[in-house]
Amino acid sequence: METAIRTSTIKEKLISEFEESKKILFGNTRLRDQAIESFCKQGIPTRKNEEYKYTPVDLMLKEEFYFTANKNCSNEQIEHLKFLKGAYVAIIENGIFMEGLSNLNNLPNGLTICSLADAAKNNSTIFEKYYAQYADINADPFIALNTAMAKDGVFIYVAKNAIIEKPIHIIDISTTFENIMIQQRNLIVVDENAQAKIIESFETLDSNAITFSNALTEIVINENAIVDYYKIQDEKELGNLVNTTQIIQKKQSIFSIHTFTLSGSLVRNNLTLVLDGEHIGSHLNGLYLTAGNQVVDNHTVVDHRKPNCNSNELYKGIIDGKSTATFNGKVFVRKDAQKTNAFQSNKNILLSEDGTINTKPQLEIYADDVKCSHGTSTGKLDEEKIFYLLSRGLGTDSAKKLLMNAFASEVVDTITIEPLREYIEGKILKKFELH
């Protein structure tokens, strides 16, 4: 029996785990059945799959994984991760919402934060209206897998006209001592004319276990809403993360997303923004600092479906060691999306001979009255600038650090939450110390 399990593939194991657990999972079993069927068809992507060419998720999934974990976390262990004073904090441990570890007392009127599994029962109107409506199970195997197997996650609802002043901080933490594969799912709905700032941190507690997290967040931004979203991906070196974020924006809404990838063994971001209304503003900023054998892959899609919208995308990376970074940014401007302004830029600094950067900007424009541009650059640190700094007495190390920091600051300066900016700046400086 045991040998049979050991020789079966991760795909087979996932399917058998699904059959065992599906009855106790939240929501609609029919949707889950469709999703597992789609996953069966798609399978775990290999590097023969164009979309996963540079990201060996299949290799990472060759390990043995458990699909459930004990709760290991204490308040003390995670206190340092709650660095935003006064924030509403939701803790998700190994994919499960942990009310006891969270700080959700005194939520203001108009703000709901709870377990997604609970929301499926207790907030069924909103849940059923929006859940799994945007992340297409046939578009990517990890969406299919997550939709089939998601156990829990966080549900956030910001009601019409509610302005949430304090930030909402979601902390996704893996705490297991055994290798684990996690299927976490979040649903965030910001209703008409509402505003919120949301931070999502990805962390692991010290352990020798390998984690593979397939985390999926759907974000619905209704008319006139304003949402600022930050991702801080800072897992330990045995942490692997496939993070799908599916955003739908309705008319006149403004959305900014900032993705900071600071560590982790493998990080794959699938970020899709659909601009489904007029006069929408979208900002996508990203910063990835890679070293060692890290693999970081940012796939973004900005889909302009209606006229008169603006999108602006800036991704920057510093690549060191034998690490590999990939940027693949698609911008679609549909036939109806006249008067679109869409800009995209990807800039990289390669610090080492053995580092790799793959960058692929793609514009597909079907409208004729638009302003679009994209650009990409990869280079070393500028020798002229280094010499200028040396000639003033700075050592090579601090000159390089100053220049790397300057390069990163273009993205870091887009953070509007002051303590968050300081936190990220501190993290980055620490990371540069290691170079």
Partner 1 sequence: MITIKNLHASIDGKQILKGINLEIKAGEVHAIMGPNGSGKSTLAAVLAGRPEYEVTEGEVNYNGKNLLELSPENRAREGVFLAFQYPIEIPGVSNINFLKTAINEIRVYKGLEPMEAKDFLMMLKEKQKLVELDGKLANRSVNEGFSGGEKKRNEIFQMAMLEPKLAILDETDSGLDIDALRIVANGVNKLKSKDNATIIITHYQRLLDYIIPDFVHVLYNGKIVKSGTKELALELEEKGYDFIKEEVE
**What are the distances in angstroms from CA 23 to CA 10, 26, 96, 114, 149?**
21, 8, 17, 21, 11
What count of Cα atoms within 13 Å lies in the side-chain half-sphere of residue 431? Answer: 25
- Report if residue 122 touches partner 1, rule: CB under 8 A: no
- Report if residue 118 touches partner 1, rule: CB under 8 A: no
- Report if residue 375 touches partner 1, rule: CB under 8 A: no
- Report if residue 396 touches partner 1, rule: CB under 8 A: yes
Of 403, 421, 425, 427, the one binding partner 1 (CB under 8 A) is: 403
- Report if residue 387 touches partner 1, rule: CB under 8 A: yes
Binding piece for partner 1, criterion CB under 8 A, among 202-210, 270-278, 356-364, 399-407: 399-407
Least distance to partner 1, CB of residue 405, Å:
7
Q: Using only C-alpha atoms, what is the Rg of the chain?
A: 21
Please say which residue, 300 or 346, places its beta carbon nearer to partner 1: 346
- Report if residue 390 touches partner 1, rule: CB under 8 A: yes
Binding piece for partner 1, criterion CB under 8 A, among 214-222, 282-290, 298-306, 379-387: 379-387
Binding piece for partner 1, criterion CB under 8 A, among 109-117, 234-242, 354-362, 398-406: 398-406
- Report if residue 109 touches partner 1, rule: CB under 8 A: no
- Report if residue 392 touches partner 1, rule: CB under 8 A: yes
Helix pair 418-433, 396-412: axis angle to 10 deg: 150
Least distance to partner 1, CB of residue 400, Å:
12
Instruction: Say how many C-beta atoms besides its own lie within 10 A of residue 33's C-beta.
Output: 13
Buried b (16+ CB within 10 A) or exposed e, 234-253: bbbebbbbbbbbbbbbbbbb
Binding piece for partner 1, criterion CB under 8 A, among 32-40, 138-146, 279-287, 380-388: 380-388
Structure tokens that stand for 378 in this block: 């990869």
Residue count at the site for partner 1 (CB under 8 A)?
22
Least distance to partner 1, CB of residue 375, Å:
16
DSSP per-residue letters across 165-194: -SPEEEEEEE--SS-EEEEEEEEEEE-TT-
- Report if residue 7 touches partner 1, rule: CB under 8 A: no
- Report if residue 163 touches partner 1, rule: CB under 8 A: no
Q: What are phi and psi of 403, to 5 degrees?
A: -70, -35
Least distance to partner 1, CB of residue 391, Å:
5
Please say which residue, 366 or 388, places its beta carbon nearer to partner 1: 388
Least distance to partner 1, CB of residue 286, Å:
17
Closest CA to 154 of 179, 181, 131, 136: 131
- Report if residue 389 touches partner 1, rule: CB under 8 A: yes
- Report if residue 377 touches partner 1, rule: CB under 8 A: no
The letter for the amino acid at 100 is G
- Report if residue 315 touches partner 1, rule: CB under 8 A: no
- Report if residue 406 touches partner 1, rule: CB under 8 A: yes
C-alpha to C-alpha distance for 48 and 56, rounded to whole angstroms: 10
- Report if residue 195 touches partner 1, rule: CB under 8 A: no
Q: In terms of DSSP bridges, do strands 211-221 and 168-174 run parallel, antiparallel, or are they unpaired?
A: unpaired
- Report if residue 409 touches partner 1, rule: CB under 8 A: yes
What count of Cα atoms within 13 Å lies in the side-chain half-sphere of residue 252? Answer: 8
- Report if residue 391 touches partner 1, rule: CB under 8 A: yes
- Report if residue 223 touches partner 1, rule: CB under 8 A: no
- Report if residue 425 touches partner 1, rule: CB under 8 A: no
Identify whether the C-beta of residue 239 lies closer than 8 Å to the C-beta of residue 265. Answer: yes
DSSP 339: T
The letter for the amino acid at 278 is E
- Report if residue 407 touches partner 1, rule: CB under 8 A: yes
C-alpha to C-alpha distance for 133 and 139, rounded to whole angstroms: 13
Contacts of 137 (CB under 8 A, 6+ apart): 34, 35, 38, 39, 143, 144, 147
Binding piece for partner 1, criterion CB under 8 A, among 70-78, 244-252, 394-402, 419-427: 394-402
Please say which residue, 22 or 401, places its beta carbon nearer to partner 1: 401
Q: What are phi and psi of 141, to 5 degrees?
A: -60, -30
Q: Which residues bind partner 1 (CB under 8 A)?
A: 383-385, 387-396, 398-399, 402-403, 405-407, 409-410
